[in-house]
A and B are shown apart, each in its own frame.
Chain A
């Protein structure tokens, strides 16, 4: 069985292209002055424009175009100086005008790429286009199944209608479900760094459809593709694609043909199901929206936006490696997740020991948050507190063993390390007077070890140090203890 799978994987190649929709976090909607909302009372964030009332007209939100330009630049696209909006015509009750204002042959950005770090290789994924459009409303189908065809009736909430959306389309450059997942992760982190969207998967602020096909390794001819919808998390994206690739290979192996279809990923069964056949494909009757004038995106404005772009994951990873001296693995780990990277950067602002901070984040901290299934941001430890903890270790105010217990306490209570150390009296004893008294007592009580040391068994000193540490609950500064004992016994 194993061998058969491996054989098939050699026989076929997977080809994937992704279309990702990103809801922008602008103040207002794409073509009207309504505020963006999530989870508010239905149909309260609406106006004649986003409800498609007769006589209302759209006006472009310049901030949304700015975000689109930012994204396009971050994805190495060229920006179209002349860009226009088209109408995409189709009837659906969540569409107030029964057409969506979108972009067609003159999108904001074209011809870019993004590098996806796969650990042992880098996949360059070409970006076909970055375009701007408006989101639809939300339908809820009342009935047993929640599907429109079986619903008793449906209700619609237009709060989301008109929210600015960016669509990012890749070339069919992605070669496996894992690469698809890693692409999504990298894209999401890039968008988070740009601060253009909250990229919340749960709220659907970022969602992808995938075009997938398989072809024989021996040919360049692409196979028939299917489009998979509802891939709403990194996990679903990978699982859905894995299922679909396997399904297509099975179809071909049994001598049948893959049909061009739109399929829906069902997380319950972890399978994809037919949504519609090719013949049912829409004719959207695209044409330039006569209510909007062509946009001129001038070079000066593009340069202004370009110069204000934040450091992106790729550049950050290089800097960590070259300037901070982190290893390849550590640099990638610290740079390629927006949350971790932001936390790392913030911590470094308070204490500039990159290697040590990195070790804490990757080591104990990761272990804790994984165990408790929370995120860095949700944990009670602030970057400042973590910086203080590392600082205290670096200044030898506490030893690493105590640091671990302080960290645990910080994790549970959210208190600063200083508070915990003070409260529990964990501060390292470096006062030689105080230590000498304890050392004298230990020397007196352990004559055997003392005589062993004096007779040349250097290791016996470890026993004595251990006794001292136990007596001070680990607070004694081991280096100073060592120095004093050696001096006293010589």
Chain B
């Protein structure tokens, strides 16, 4: 059986019917990782022995007649900014290169309760800052569809590992598009839930008011299942929402007749690649054919989203990252002779250039005399963006746009031009600012053989609508080709 090309729910079926053991699955995936990850570099930490002994443990659990949940024995890769007890969590940064967390993030606890099979810790842009996964102190991740191309970022490892069949699914985090953009560039499904739907406890913070953990999968059904598994109120996260978790799987294959789809013209910007535009338009035609009502709309304040984001996110980051000082854990420069020198050298040597750039931008924006003009103003514009979405959702069930203006770009292409790099997230950033849910799923393949993604955006806590539309799109455009590595 070709286990590595099955989805999580298919694997789940075979585990339940006892046709395969978890160890069988682990062995096949380990073999796949060993044969391709040298090229992809999706993993920062993968320990085959730990992986196998965990698989055996789960097999024993199953043999004792215990309940088999959706993710019992399912291999899942975890982005390396999600804390895992006893397994190092590096954030792809030198400053945490040997940091081992003393606790499990809430999402890990939830998956552990289902006896999932953690594969390893997936590569990413350092502290989740980047759109190409080139900012990793553990080396760039390569796009499985073309190894000269980036997988997107910051969750490049989680996306590429799913695309390269190293895992059936993974967890990433999304602050400005860090799940959806790499999902788009790697041709997989990636979802950012409503802010507060999934606990952030144990997610190493980049920008606290924007960060959200979400799933990468091969199909919408797995996406719904994994979202269901990790969602829910957490008393350890004050920003988590205290409402019941719907049965997300139940919304798949729904009739979408009469559902209203808005196309924000501000997200169909001039920077959008022609092929990407065509793919999205094809998706819209198909939705109309299925009975959905598609209309172009305007959300004027989205024009400012990128500017607002690059004030709020670095501001929060500058404060969130100040704890990395060499005093309690992580990298410390041992030659420093004074406290100040230790701080300076530790941070100068521990952080990469993009992280430093954002710490400086954020520190500046929060400084006395600049706060009102930058941070405070940005918060006000953020409110306008939230209101624009609120207005749109009073009429429309979902909004649709490209996920990324382009397909994957070449490694090294944009590293020296941060502003061009930042434009990669122009369609995804407004969603984080508004705290609403959105998914990216495959919409086509470019002439050069690179995946194209489409983004479906829903109102607060309306993941159901997002999944309904995504499921309809998937049934139409799902392609059978796989990347050849």
Contact = CB atoms under 8 A, between A and B. Distances in A.
Interface of A: 48, 51-60, 87, 89, 91, 93, 96-99, 148, 154, 156, 283, 285-287, 290-293
List the 5 closest pairs (A to B, CB-CB), nearest first: A98-B322, A285-B366, A290-B208, A290-B209, A55-B202
Contacts of A58: 238
Contacts of B200: 57
A55 B322 contact: no
B204 interface: yes
Interface string B276-297: 0000000000000000000000
Nearest to A92: B339
B319 interface: yes
A53 B328 CA distance: 9
A44 to B, nearest CB: 14
Given A54-B323, A290-B209, A290-B239, 8 more contacts: A54-B83, A54-B101, A55-B202, A56-B103, A58-B238, A89-B322, A285-B371, A293-B238
Interface string B85-109: 0000101000010010111010000
B328 A57 contact: no
Nearest to A284: B368
Given A91-B322, A96-B323, A55 B368 contact: no
A388 B261 CA distance: 86
B14 interface: no
Given A285-B319, A285-B367, A290-B316, A55 B328 contact: no
B116 to A, nearest CB: 19
A48 B102 contact: yes
Contacts of B96: 54
A279 to B, nearest CB: 14
Interface string B202-225: 111101110000000000000000
Contacts of B89: 54-55
The secondary-structure label for the interface of chain A is loop
A53 B329 contact: yes
30 contacts: A48-B103, A52-B328, A53-B103, A54-B83, A54-B205, A55-B81, A55-B82, A55-B202, A55-B204, A55-B205, A57-B201, A59-B236, A91-B343, A93-B339, A96-B323, A97-B323, A98-B323, A98-B325, A148-B339, A285-B363, A285-B366, A285-B367, A287-B319, A287-B371, A290-B209, A290-B239, A291-B208, A292-B238, A292-B239, A293-B239
A327 to B, nearest CB: 53
Contacts of A156: 327
B366 A89 contact: yes
A290 to B, nearest CB: 4
A89 B343 contact: no
Contacts of A91: 322, 325, 343
A55 B105 contact: yes
Contacts of A52: 323, 328
Interface residues of B, number: 43
Contacts of A293: 238-239
A123 B344 CA distance: 49
Contacts of A98: 322-323, 325
A52 B321 CA distance: 11
B328 A96 contact: yes
Interface string B70-85: 0000000000011100
A53 B239 contact: no
A148 B343 CA distance: 15
Nearest to B205: A55
Contacts of A48: 101-103
A154 to B, nearest CB: 8
Nearest to B211: A290
B325 A55 contact: no
Contacts of A283: 367-368
Contacts of B351: none
A333 to B, nearest CB: 47
**Residue with the greatest number of chain A CB neighbours at <10 A, chosen from B203, B238, B316, B318:** B238
A99 B238 contact: no
A291 B319 contact: no
Contacts of A55: 81-83, 89, 101, 105, 201-205
Interface in B336-368: 339, 343, 363, 366-368
A291 B239 contact: yes
Contacts of B329: 53
A441 B201 CA distance: 93
B255 interface: no
B336 to A, nearest CB: 12
Nearest to A54: B204
B235 interface: yes
A164 to B, nearest CB: 16
B366 A287 contact: yes
B382 to A, nearest CB: 12
B375 interface: yes
Given A54-B204, A290-B209, A60 B363 contact: no
A358 to B, nearest CB: 51
Contact of A57 (B238, B315, B318, B367): B238
B374 to A, nearest CB: 11
Contacts of B343: 91
Contact of B315 (A51, A93, A148, A287): A287
Contacts of A292: 238-239
Contacts of B91: 54
**Residue with the greatest number of chain B CB neighbours at <10 A, chosen from A56, A283, A292:** A56
A413 B2 CA distance: 89
Contacts of A56: 103, 201-202
Contact of B319 (A54, A59, A60, A99): A99
B237 interface: yes
Contacts of B235: 59
B128 to A, nearest CB: 12
B366 A60 contact: no
B204 A291 contact: no
Contacts of B327: 93, 156
A292 B200 CA distance: 12
**Residue with the greatest number of chain B CB neighbours at <10 A, chosen from A57, A87, A98:** A57
A320 to B, nearest CB: 46
Contacts of A54: 83, 89, 91, 96, 99, 101, 204-205, 323
A91 B339 CA distance: 10
**Residue with the greatest number of chain B CB neighbours at <10 A, chosen from A96, A286, A290:** A290
Contacts of B102: 48, 53
Nearest to A99: B319
A292 B238 CA distance: 6
A58 B236 CA distance: 7
B410 to A, nearest CB: 33
